[in-house]
Chains A and B, each alone.
Chain A
Amino acid sequence: MKADRRWTPYLLVAPAFLLFAFVVLIPAVLNTALSVMDWSGTNQMTFVGLDNFFRAFRDDIYLMAYRNTFVYIGLTLILEVLAGLILAGLVTMRGRRTAFYRIAFFVPVMLPMVVIAVLWAFVYSDDIGLINSGLRAIGLDEWAPVWLGDPSTALIAVSVVSGWIYAGFYMAIFYAALQRIPTHIVEAATLDGASQWRIFFSIRVPMIRPIIEIAVLLCVTGAFQSFDLFYVMTNGGPDHATEIITTYLVEVVFRFHNLGYGAALATIMTVVVLALGFVFTRIRARAGGAGLEY
């Protein structure tokens, strides 16, 4: 008699599904339920329908937070992913002793974010900061703005710090991917007279394209998770120029004690992130994205 194994697949999937439900699905459902309520955290909940969502789309600060987040994504794609790719290219060049640089570039990733934020706040300080002191010392006073106090420079300044931290992280990923490229391909190109520059952009980069795409996805979704760097360096200011979705969420929930509205803002953000992930996956599928095969 053959054993009845109809339930086996479900039982095998169950632990993972239960864990996923516990940490993602159930909180998401509860958060969505809370988003249609007016609740301070301890008072009587009141059903308000979709009012919180309508309010979100009229909330200039919330909309500005999205604009800032997308600008931040654009800047960090350059300062983190592109810079990481270039660094990886530099440290994989043949004949160079690169271990020191690989470690040096990766060190910021290992430092606590709050420590980095505080250190860079000093670096950017108008009065004692390294940058402005240096600029003034060489007579470039007009090029020494209050980096974190000027709405036109604050977001760029924070993004540069983010790039300083994570360029090394992406360098490590790209470096590992580049190491997998068979040496005979590079050697063949070298024998054909290709320059290091040409080899990098015409052979190495195309061959690690799937890794680059994953890095871009990590960078984009990671931007929506950013918080500590912004909170410590600028707290969303000046004039909300560095307000991102998470800093505004904290303000709404913990300062204004408006948990229902905060839940609505979080629900919208979840939908946006899921939509971006979906679009990205579709684009990759159409472009024939697949794993590395050498």
Chain B
Amino acid sequence: MAPSTAPRRLAAGVAAVSGAALVLSALTGCAPGSDADVVIRIAMGSSGDAVDSKFDDLKDQYEDLYPDREVEIIVQEDDVYQTTGLATLLSSREAPDAYFEWSGPRMRNHVADGDGADVSEYLAGEAFAGRFDDGAFTGMDVDGSGIYMVPWTGDVTDVVWYNKEIFDSLGLSVPTTWDEFMDVCAAIKASGVTPIVEGNKDQWTVGNWAAHIASRVLGEDLYAQTMNGEAAMNSPEMLDAMSYIAEIAEKGYINDSVNALPDDEANTQFFLGKAAMIVIGSWLMADAATDAEGLDFDYFNTPALEGAGDQTSVLGISTGFMVNAKSEHIAETMDFLALVASTEGTKLWADAGLAPMTVDPFAGVDADPRTVSLATLMSTASTVVAPSDSGYDIEVAAAFYDAVASIIGGGNVQDALDTAEKRVAEIR
């Protein structure tokens, strides 16, 4: 707590050197140490080493194609990127020319803030010709006009990943209803293995799953109204929905450390076989490619519940790259994004375990069947529900996630939802 002068001096020194470098780079129009005429900056949250390294490959391809240009890939830790990282980058002097984002409200906010360029003309050009179906642009417009993203991947935001060896050794089959799911959890717990591991330190992992459950129980319309702050957070329907989460906590089917564990450490525990299941998005495949070689695992969608919603719905959202409207190199940036969407680029993402949104996501690629299956799940879903944090009002989502964290930590459902409703009423 005490002030420290040494770090301040160091920071001042670093700031002075950085400042000088910035002035020099501003004078030359290039990144420090760069001989290139044009430097484009691409920012994103880390999707795992397998994906991050592919961007380095693409950078090399781009710089070979355009020798007078240079690409600077800015990768931040995912949670940092979502919260403070991207906002800080966009307000900096060296703002990125393109940046990763989810479709929906976050994208629209960037457009409203003047940080998102309409790229529809470029997408209609030769570089992107035939690369996307029209459906790929869903949620990437603003009130029906313009396109503000170059689509990248479709993320199924939560499925239940399970360790097949553990399931087979216990003679368990994939559950299709919640009751079956509880029976599976009971059998796993009885064998001495943690049934479900979650890293909910930043609240979105269990929060997303709870949002999916809420949409199934409340029905998609009431779910959307609730997450937009238009309906009560402590409605009887929401109470029913969150009782499913409470049941998992009460029966001890989830790791005790759920609210202290970061999501990546939970992934590691699943990969190490310390838990039989983990509920997280399709991006787990990318981590598994580098961290879980040899692990026999698969996934199933959240089992059917009793409620007004579509019981086969998928929680998911499309992602893409927005182009900074303030960029001085929009055309050059679109050249890079054309490579991202090209046949070669698509192969890179499919190889890394992602589900690209191009017309030929797995053409010529020996893609993992689970990756292909996830892409199919998303594209053929009768209902795709958006997660509350990336699809709706972020403050309402934060209140909801707080309630969910409290419930999964053993808190009273009614109290947690009443607290959330009080916060939402203030926002309302």
Query: Which residues in A have some Cβ–Cβ distance to B below 8 Å?
Result: 40-43, 55, 58-61, 76, 80, 109-110, 124-127, 146-151, 154, 162, 166, 169-170, 218-219, 222-223, 225-226, 234-235, 237-240, 250-251, 254-258
A42 CB to nearest chain B CB (Å): 4
B2 touches A166 (CB 8 A): yes
Q: Is B380 among interface residues, defined by CB-CB distance under 8 A?
A: no
Pairs A-B, 7 closest by C-beta atoms: A149-B260, A222-B1, A42-B113, A238-B259, A126-B257, A148-B260, A254-B84
B109-121 interface bits toward A, Cβ cutoff 8 Å, 1 = contact, 0 = none: 1001111000000
- A246→B55 CA distance, assembly (Å): 35
B84 touches A42 (CB 8 A): no
Q: Is B92 among interface residues, defined by CB-CB distance under 8 A?
A: no
For B84, the closest partner residue in chain A by CB is: A254
- A155→B112 CA distance, assembly (Å): 39
B25 CB to nearest chain A CB (Å): 25
Which of B91, B112, B269, B419 is close to A43, meaning CB atoms less than 8 Å apart?
A: B112
Q: Is B4 among interface residues, defined by CB-CB distance under 8 A?
A: yes
- A residues near B274, Cβ cutoff 8 Å: 127
B7 CB to nearest chain A CB (Å): 8
Q: Is B52 among interface residues, defined by CB-CB distance under 8 A?
A: no
- A residues near B411, Cβ cutoff 8 Å: 239
B366 CB to nearest chain A CB (Å): 35
- B residues near A151, Cβ cutoff 8 Å: 409
- A150→B402 CA distance, assembly (Å): 14
Q: Is B188 among interface residues, defined by CB-CB distance under 8 A?
A: no
B402 touches A55 (CB 8 A): no
B1 touches A218 (CB 8 A): yes
A59 touches B2 (CB 8 A): no
The answer to whether residues A169 and B2 also contact, given A43-B113, A149-B257, A239-B411 and a CB cut-off of 8 A, is: yes
- A122→B118 CA distance, assembly (Å): 45
B388 CB to nearest chain A CB (Å): 14
Pairs across A and B, CB under 8 Å, 22 listed: A41-B91, A60-B422, A80-B1, A80-B2, A126-B255, A127-B257, A127-B274, A146-B256, A149-B258, A149-B261, A150-B260, A162-B1, A218-B2, A218-B3, A225-B1, A237-B203, A239-B406, A240-B402, A251-B398, A254-B88, A256-B395, A257-B394
A234 touches B201 (CB 8 A): yes
The answer to whether residues A239 and B405 also contact, given A60-B422, A149-B258 and a CB cut-off of 8 A, is: yes
For A80, the closest partner residue in chain B by CB is: B1
Which of A126, A250, A255, A257 is close to B398, meaning CB atoms less than 8 Å apart?
A: A255
B109 touches A257 (CB 8 A): yes
- A110→B9 CA distance, assembly (Å): 13
The answer to whether residues A149 and B259 also contact, given A41-B91, A237-B201, A238-B409 and a CB cut-off of 8 A, is: yes
The answer to whether residues A125 and B257 also contact, given A80-B1, A219-B2, A256-B398 and a CB cut-off of 8 A, is: yes
A167 CB to nearest chain B CB (Å): 10
- A226→B1 CA distance, assembly (Å): 6
B2-20 interface bits toward A, Cβ cutoff 8 Å, 1 = contact, 0 = none: 1110100000000000000
Q: Is B298 among interface residues, defined by CB-CB distance under 8 A?
A: no
B347 CB to nearest chain A CB (Å): 35
Query: Which residues in B have some Cβ–Cβ distance to A below 8 Å?
Result: 1-4, 6, 83-84, 87-88, 91, 109, 112-115, 201-203, 255-261, 269, 274, 394-395, 398, 402, 405-406, 409, 411, 419, 422-423, 426
- A residues near B260, Cβ cutoff 8 Å: 124, 126, 146-150, 154, 234, 237-238
- A59→B425 CA distance, assembly (Å): 11
- A125→B426 CA distance, assembly (Å): 36
B41 CB to nearest chain A CB (Å): 19
For B83, the closest partner residue in chain A by CB is: A255
B268 CB to nearest chain A CB (Å): 10
Q: Residue among B1, B201, B411 with the most chain A CB within 10 A?
A: B1
- B residues near A162, Cβ cutoff 8 Å: 1
- A175→B402 CA distance, assembly (Å): 45
- A residues near B261, Cβ cutoff 8 Å: 126, 149
The answer to whether residues A126 and B256 also contact, given A162-B1, A257-B87 and a CB cut-off of 8 A, is: yes
**In the complex, given contacts A149-B257, A149-B261, what are 13 additional A-B residue pairs having Cβ atoms less than 8 angstroms apart?**
A76-B1, A109-B4, A127-B257, A149-B258, A169-B2, A170-B2, A225-B1, A237-B201, A237-B405, A238-B260, A238-B409, A239-B402, A255-B84
A129 CB to nearest chain B CB (Å): 9
For B194, the closest partner residue in chain A by CB is: A127
- A255→B202 CA distance, assembly (Å): 12
- A226→B2 CA distance, assembly (Å): 9
B83 touches A254 (CB 8 A): yes
- A218→B109 CA distance, assembly (Å): 41
B258 touches A219 (CB 8 A): no
For B393, the closest partner residue in chain A by CB is: A256
- A residues near B203, Cβ cutoff 8 Å: 237
Q: Residue among B88, B112, B256 with the most chain A CB within 10 A?
A: B256
A217 CB to nearest chain B CB (Å): 10
Q: Residue among B91, B109, B259 with the most chain A CB within 10 A?
A: B259
A118 CB to nearest chain B CB (Å): 10
Which of B6, B201, B409, B426 is close to A59, meaning CB atoms less than 8 Å apart?
A: B426
- A254→B256 CA distance, assembly (Å): 30
- A150→B394 CA distance, assembly (Å): 25
For B269, the closest partner residue in chain A by CB is: A127
- B residues near A149, Cβ cutoff 8 Å: 256-261, 409
- B residues near A146, Cβ cutoff 8 Å: 256-257, 259-260
